[in-house]
Amino acid sequence: MASTDNQIIVVGRDPLPSVLHIEGGEELRMTIIVPEGVSCEKSMEIHLDGPGASLDIAGAWRCSSSERVHLQVIVRHNAPHCHSEQLFKGVVSGSARAEFDGLVYVAPGAMKTVAHQQAHSLLLSADAFCEARPQLEIYADDVECSHGATTGYLNPEELFYMRSRGIPEEEARAIQVEAFLAPVLNRLP
């Protein structure tokens, strides 16, 4: 793995590697998309094996009917001075179910690790379900690690504001969903 290009993986079209290794000084940039209508149960492990290895990964899913999406991402900081950034965003409606497990593991001796993980969901219907379980396991000192997970709903104030400007309700909702996913989707060419 030596490429700094953005690898794009569309689940259902492209295989998702189960284990990846990033060597010292190398960089991996990856974007995972789970399109509407695709169910999956996937797990991926990414190892940062040498000093200065860096990972920038993002993922988005849009489940709108009865999809079942379960994604597990394990990031292992095995060496010092590595950096990982993770951003996952999902929109779930209908009776779909989306789960995300994210583990950041910092091995003993992997000091000066910088690891950030964000997992945010937007829940659009009462029958939909989503859950994000971020986890940190840190066995080294002098590291900077953070994780955040939120579940939100479309903001009715935003919706009314848009409608009051003449944007029909359905379109206003679509704009909100698009805006929510934009930080991930903007990484696509």
Partner 1 sequence: MSDILLEIKDLHAGIEGREILKGVNLTIRRGEVHAVMGPNGAGKSTLSAVLAGRADYTVTSGSITYDGKDLLSLAPEERSWAGIFLSFQYPVEIPGVSITNFMKAALNARRKAAGQPELKPAEFLKLLKDKMALVQMKGEFAKREVNVGFSGGEKKRNEIFQMAMLEPTLSILDETDSGLDVDALRIVADGVNRLRTPRTASIVITHYQRLLEYIVPDVVHVLKDGRIVRSGGRELVDTIEKDGYDGIDG
Nearer to partner 1, 43 or 155 (CB): 155
Interaction of residue 182 with partner 1, rule CB under 8 A: yes
State in angstroms the smallest separation of the CB of 6 from partner 1: 20
Site size for partner 1, by CB under 8 A?
Answer: 21
Q: Among the candidate windows 13-21, 71-79, 121-129, 174-182, which touches partner 1 by CB under 8 A?
A: 174-182
Bridge partners (DSSP) listed for residue 83: 54, 114
* Contact predicate 55/48, CB 8 Å: yes
State in angstroms the smallest separation of the CB of 163 from partner 1: 4
The Cα-based distances of 151 to 25, 107, 133, 143, 171 in angstroms read: 35, 30, 11, 27, 22
If one counts every other C-beta atom within 10 angstroms of the C-beta of residue 62, the result is: 23
Q: Give the residue, chosen from 168, 173, 187, 189, that forms a contact with partner 1 under the rule CB under 8 A.
A: 168
* Contact predicate 184/31, CB 8 Å: yes
Q: Give the residue, chosen from 24, 158, 173, 187, that forms a contact with partner 1 under the rule CB under 8 A.
A: 158
* Contact predicate 88/107, CB 8 Å: no
Residues in contact with partner 1 by the rule CB under 8 A: 155, 157-158, 160-169, 171, 175-176, 178-180, 182-183
